[in-house]
DNA sequence: TTGTCATGCTAAATCGATTTAGCAGAACGG
DNA sequence: CCGTTCTGCTAAATCGATTTAGCATGACAA
């Protein structure tokens, strides 16, 4: 029936008052506690296995050592885990626990989640989007620092992938491998709407910059209604089926690249050997494919970590994180 | 500078004591409060927008309306989101918030996570494993109801997929489609260790039962070192390359099935038409493949929901949830 | 001897709720 | 007219910490 020891228990056992225990254990300076008393308190705390009750602490101090993470799991949950992981890891290293909420696109679920978190007095809020886009958020509780990860919203500090650099690096990588005849599958106009994507425009700009710097133009550029394997496969069939087919394809993302793989298989072409493929995102899929898909990784985990750091320790209004190039073998020098 | 209204504010505004406010708002029966006073309290609470402070409530009542979710994100995070989603949805519907922790396989990270959660006085704990297996957990805090989802541990109540039924249903589905020459790729002995998998044995038993009931034997059964596309592809090459190749393949999971797809492509065979494939898990991958992969879905979301329900409302020691058959087109009647 | 100042500590208020015990007045019975 | 019971409400304790204000005691100077 032994309950958890309280500060009062420690005080009793050390022969001092609760006040003294609090002062000693919080290491307050300038408090004129004798070394002897301090020692007794520490010993008592140690032997009793005392640790302060978080709920009492929250009530008194108004802070909870907890941060809220709200995400929009709706459309795509595929990426969630890496971001959550980053959030949890960073939080743990800062001694914070994480309270999670997931919302769909109903504005009042956002509102409810955020009100609930601020009711519970979380120390900071991280809003995480699975797909980088611009959203409207309900007014944030004042006094709670809030960061949006993988998205933009009003004046909130943001953490985003550095898509311009990634687009540029991807194109440069293919060019440097020796390719001159390159097609781009998945340049979709509708993605340029910031509500649909906050970053794709930057990706395109980076790609365009690299191509321009090399004095090249894409042999073909296809729009796609969706960045999914089905439409991508069809587009790739026509691109790769033409007599003057490109030696490399830049795919808008991994699922598009997967469609390209399927089209190549249908046409009896071997990836890397007959046609190189370079892509974006680094989904699990990219690692399953043979040859493995070379792609620019969306740094979900890093973004989660950065979001937590920024929320606890505000400073930057925009943090752009590098997207590492993951080399797997789908890009090789052109034949001939 | 308006702070959130407290119970005392409501009391003042209604011209009653804090006690009365508490009694009225908690709807205590047998408390002899006049209808008039009750009404005044409710009106005041409403106009002030009062809601009780969760931290104060926790301190006083010892309950937090929060549940802890601890998962082992280590090896595979692919599935995490569906389970988390289930947990969050069920929790929300019960008015609970969720505090998350993720741990790797270090026993003391488990310990730390669990101590932290019980320090914070969560009302219940759900332990979620990404891959069904048997683990040792540190002793759980007494008085906190705990459930393990997708795993087994000591005497803890468990939520598991009903793998026996799924194995049986999978095999029956293929048999009922008319197949008689069926191979099984991925019958791995090492998976039978309960520490590696808590459920695969049941899956095999279900499959065996269905085969036996139909009076059939597998034409080939391959062990695999890993259930990954690479090894599976090789195994499938030899199975499908033989002159007396089977008309259907039962794959141990979707990644194995993907290896089979690749082998079929290499051999110029068309899935469904030339060889049917049936699988387990229903990863995102299963939906990308063409034709879509018919597979028995691991009900991660349902398991997450059930885990929460069981934790808040203990009753069963073992809950086996059905694995739905997801038909996508990779199984067709054999030709000829 | 008395006043002043450190020193070393503690009593009590506070955070915002719940809950126990009990007060004041009305109604009722004898 | 007095005692009992019921009605309608509240004061105060409590949960477990932090923090402010201040009480003893001893040392020292005048």
DSSP string, B265-303: HHTTPPBTTTBEEEEEE--HHHHHSSSPPEEEEP-HHHH
* Strand D CB-contacts below 7 Å: A 3-4, 6-8, 18-19, 21-23, 25-26, 28, 50, 52-53, 56-57, 59-61; B 15-20, 23, 31-34, 36-37, 59-60
Give A58 CA → D24 C1' in Å: 34
* Cα–Cα distance measured from residue A249 to residue B292, given in angstroms and rounded to the nearest whole number: 25
Nearest residue for D19, CA–C1': A19
Backbone angles phi, psi at B241, to 5 degrees: -80, -15
* Cα–Cα distance measured from residue B278 to residue B252, given in angstroms and rounded to the nearest whole number: 9
For residue A1, name the pLDDT band (cuts at 50, 70, 90).
Answer: very low
Q: Which pLDDT does position B319 carry in this prediction?
A: 97
Query: Which domains, and CATH codes, for chain A?
Result: 7-52 (1.10.260.40), 64-161 (3.40.50.2300), 163-298+322-326 (3.40.50.2300)
Nearest residue for C16, CA–C1': B56
What integer is the mean pLDDT of A138-162? 93
What integer is the mean pLDDT of B28-46? 92
> What does the angle CA A29 – CA A30 – CA A32 come to, to the nearest 5 degrees?
110
For helices B18-25 and B7-14, angle between their N-to-C axes, nearest 10 degrees? 100
* Cα–Cα distance measured from residue A179 to residue A226, given in angstroms and rounded to the nearest whole number: 27
The per-residue pLDDT for range B121-146, each reduced to its tens digit, is 999 999 999 889 999 999 888 889 99
Nearest residue for C10, CA–C1': A17
Q: Which pLDDT does position B77 carry in this prediction?
A: 60
Identify whether the C-beta of residue B236 lies closer than 8 Å to the C-beta of residue B249.
yes
The per-residue pLDDT for range B213-227, each reduced to its tens digit, is 999 999 999 999 999
> What does the angle CA A106 – CA A108 – CA A112 come to, to the nearest 5 degrees?
125
What integer is the mean pLDDT of A266-272? 94
Residue B126: its chain A contacts at CB < 8 A?
A: none
For residue B81, name the pLDDT band (cuts at 50, 70, 90).
Answer: confident
Residue A53: its chain B contacts at CB < 8 A?
A: 59, 119
Residue A86: its chain B contacts at CB < 8 A?
A: none
Q: Which pLDDT does position A78 carry in this prediction?
A: 67
Q: Do B98 and A101 touch (CB under 8 A)?
A: yes
Q: Do B53 and A99 touch (CB under 8 A)?
A: no
Q: Which of A329, A319, A290 is nearest to A158 (CA)?
A: A319
For residue B66, name the pLDDT band (cuts at 50, 70, 90).
Answer: very high
What integer is the mean pLDDT of A126-130? 94
- Which residues from the 35-94 window of protein chain A have CB within 7 angstroms of nucleic acid chain C? 36-37, 59-60
Which two structure tokens, joined as six digits, stand for B38? 């009750």
Q: Which residues, 6+ apart, have CB-to-CB distance to A101 below 8 Å? A: A68, A69, A70, A71, A113, A116, A117, B88, B92, B97, B98
Residue A75 has pLDDT above 90, yes or no: no
Nearest to A121 among B55, B80, B229 (CB): B55
Q: Which region among A84-88, A220-224, A268-272, B101-105 has the lowest average model confidence (pLDDT)?
A: B101-105
Nearest residue for C15, CA–C1': A60
For helices B300-312 and B80-93, angle between their N-to-C axes, nearest 10 degrees? 40
* Cα–Cα distance measured from residue B245 to residue B297, given in angstroms and rounded to the nearest whole number: 27
Strand C–CB B53 distance below 7 A: yes
Q: Indicate the DSSP class of residue B188.
A: -
Give B7 CA → D3 C1' in Å: 39
Q: Which pLDDT does position A308 carry in this prediction?
A: 98
* Cα–Cα distance measured from residue A156 to residue B279, given in angstroms and rounded to the nearest whole number: 45
Q: Which of A203, A189, A198 is nearest to A279 (CA)?
A: A203
Give residue ranges of A with CB < 8 Å to any B CB.
Answer: 51, 53-56, 58-59, 64, 66, 69, 73, 77-78, 80-82, 84-85, 88-89, 92, 97-102, 116, 119-121, 229-230, 233, 255, 258, 262, 265, 284-285, 288, 290
Q: Do A99 and B101 touch (CB under 8 A)?
A: no
Q: Mean pLDDT, chain A, as a whole number?
A: 93
Q: Which pLDDT does position B284 carry in this prediction?
A: 85
For residue B75, name the pLDDT band (cuts at 50, 70, 90).
Answer: very low
Q: Which pLDDT does position A325 carry in this prediction?
A: 98
DSSP string, A206-247: HHHHHHHHTT---SEEE--SSSSHHHHHHHHHHHHHSTT--S
Nearest to B99 among A92, A97, A262 (CB): A97
What integer is the mean pLDDT of B247-251? 98
Reported residue count of chain B is 336
The per-residue pLDDT for range B5-24, each reduced to its tens digit, is 999 999 999 999 999 999 99
Beta pairing partners, A129: A72
* Cα–Cα distance measured from residue A307 to residue A84, given in angstroms and rounded to the nearest whole number: 11
For residue B29, name the pLDDT band (cuts at 50, 70, 90).
Answer: confident
Residue B261: its chain A contacts at CB < 8 A?
A: none
- Which residues from the 9-38 window of protein chain B have CB within 7 angstroms of nucleic acid chain C? 18-19, 21-23, 25-26
Q: Do A81 and B85 touch (CB under 8 A)?
A: no
Identify whether the C-beta of residue A87 lies closer than 8 Å to the C-beta of residue A69.
yes
Nucleotide nearest the Cα atom of A23 (by C1') = D18
Q: Which pLDDT does position B1 carry in this prediction?
A: 42
Give me the half-sphere count of Cα atoms (radius 13 Å) on the Cβ side of residue B19. Answer: 3
Q: Is B322 left (phi over 0), alpha (psi -120 to 50) or beta?
A: beta
The per-residue pLDDT for range A83-116, each reduced to its tens digit, is 988 999 999 999 999 999 989 878 888 999 999 9
Q: Which pLDDT does position B296 carry in this prediction?
A: 98
Q: Where are the beta strands (DSSP E) in B137-282?
A: 145-152, 158-161, 182-185, 220-222, 248-251, 276-281
The per-residue pLDDT for range A276-313, each reduced to its tens digit, is 999 999 988 899 898 999 999 999 999 999 999 999 99
Q: Which of B115, B41, B197, B209 is nearest to A4 (CA)?
A: B115
Q: Which residues, 6+ apart, have CB-to-CB distance to B226 below 8 Å? A: none
What integer is the mean pLDDT of B149-154? 94
* Cα–Cα distance measured from residue B26 to residue B290, given in angstroms and rounded to the nearest whole number: 57
Q: Do B100 and A102 touch (CB under 8 A)?
A: no
* Cα–Cα distance measured from residue A260 to residue A285, given in angstroms and rounded to the nearest whole number: 13
Give A302 CA → D26 C1' in Å: 60
Give A32 CA → C2 C1' in Å: 27
Q: Do B85 and A102 touch (CB under 8 A)?
A: yes
Q: Mean pLDDT, chain B, as a whole number?
A: 93
Strand, helix or coil for residue A140 = coil
Q: What percent of chain A clears pLDDT 70, i.e. is strictly above it?
A: 97
Q: Which residues, 6+ apart, have CB-to-CB distance to B156 below 8 Å? A: B127, B137, B140, B146, B147, B148
Identify whether the C-beta of residue A76 lies closer than 8 Å to the C-beta of residue A300.
no
Q: Which residues, 6+ apart, have CB-to-CB distance to A164 below 8 Å? A: A202, A203, A205, A206, A209
Residue A119: its chain B contacts at CB < 8 A?
A: 51, 53-54
Give residue ranges of B with CB < 8 Å to any A CB.
Answer: 51, 53-56, 58-59, 64, 66, 69, 73, 77-78, 80-82, 84-85, 88-89, 92, 97-102, 116, 119-121, 229-230, 233, 255, 258, 262, 265, 284-285, 288, 290
């Amino acid at each position: 029936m032994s309950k958890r020891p309280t500060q009062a228990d420690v005080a009793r056992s050390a022969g001092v008052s609760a006040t003294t225990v609090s002062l000693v254990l919080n290491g307050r300076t300038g408090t004129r506690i004798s070394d002897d008393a301090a020692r007794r308190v520490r010993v008592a705390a140690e032997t009793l296995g005392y640790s302060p009750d978080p709920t009492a602490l929250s009530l008194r101090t108004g802070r909870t050592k907890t941060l809220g993470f709200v995400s929009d799991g709706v459309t795509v949950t595929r990426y969630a885990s890496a971001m959550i992981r980053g959030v949890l890891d960073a939080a743990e290293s800062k001694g914070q626990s994480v309270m999670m909420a997931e919302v769909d696109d109903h504005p009042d679920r956002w509102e409810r989640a955020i009100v609930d978190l601020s009711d519970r007095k979380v120390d900071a809020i991280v809003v995480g989007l699975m797909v980088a886009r611009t959203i409207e958020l309900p007014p944030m509780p004042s006094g709670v620092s809030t960061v949006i990860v993988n998205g933009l919203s009003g004046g909130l500090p943001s953490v985003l992938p550095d898509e311009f650099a990634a687009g540029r690096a991807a194109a440069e990588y293919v060019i440097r491998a020796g390719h001159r005849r390159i097609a781009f599958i998945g340049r979709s106009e509708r993605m340029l709407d910031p509500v649909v994507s906050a970053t794709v425009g930057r990706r395109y700009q980076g790609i365009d910059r690299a191509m321009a710097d090399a004095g090249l133009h894409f042999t073909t550029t296809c729009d796609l209604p969706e960045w999914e394997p089905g439409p991508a496969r069809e587009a790739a069939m026509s691109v790769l089926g033409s007599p003057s087919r490109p030696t490399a394809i830049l795919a808008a993302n991994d699922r598009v690249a997967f469609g390209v793989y399927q089209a190549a298989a249908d046409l009896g072409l071997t990836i890397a050997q007959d046609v190189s493929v370079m892509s974006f995102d680094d989904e699990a899929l990219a690692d399953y494919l043979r040859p493995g898909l070379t792609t620019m990784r969306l740094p979900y985990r890093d973004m989660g970590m950065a979001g937590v750091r920024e929320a606890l320790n505000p400073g930057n209004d925009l943090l752009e994180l590098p997207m590492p190039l993951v080399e797997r073998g789908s890009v090789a020098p052109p034949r001939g």
